[in-house]
Amino acid sequence: MKRAARHLLGYPHPRRVPRGVYAGQAIGISTDEFARAKDSGVNFLRNVFPLLDLGWDQARCLEYLVERGFGQTVKSACVGCPFHGNAGWRWISDHDPDG
């Protein structure tokens, strides 16, 4: 993500990103997982957390999706996340074998 942000800003490594130039990165962390909301660790990339700003937990996110006809949306997660349960690994195996 950092490499892509640098590229989009026009300052690929090893060029220095000037002070005050940054990209905003929206991350979908809900109130259930607020402890995961962290700074990016670099000055040119600023994390924002719209679900936290809205005060939405996972249940509200699901309600929102159902209200708009997207009730079958699968929970997002990185493919290699070690916190997948058996159902998560089964879904990946069945629906994204290349992943």
- Between the two ends of the chain, the Cα-to-Cα distance in Å is 18
The model carries a pTM of 0.74
Over its length of 99 residues, how does the chain's per-residue pLDDT go in tens digits? 899 999 999 999 999 999 999 999 999 999 999 999 999 999 999 999 999 999 999 999 999 999 999 988 877 777 778 878 888 888 888 988 887
Task: Please spell the DSSP secondary structure of 21-62, one letter per residue.
Answer: --EEEE----GGGGGG----SSTTEEEE-HHHHHT--HHHHH
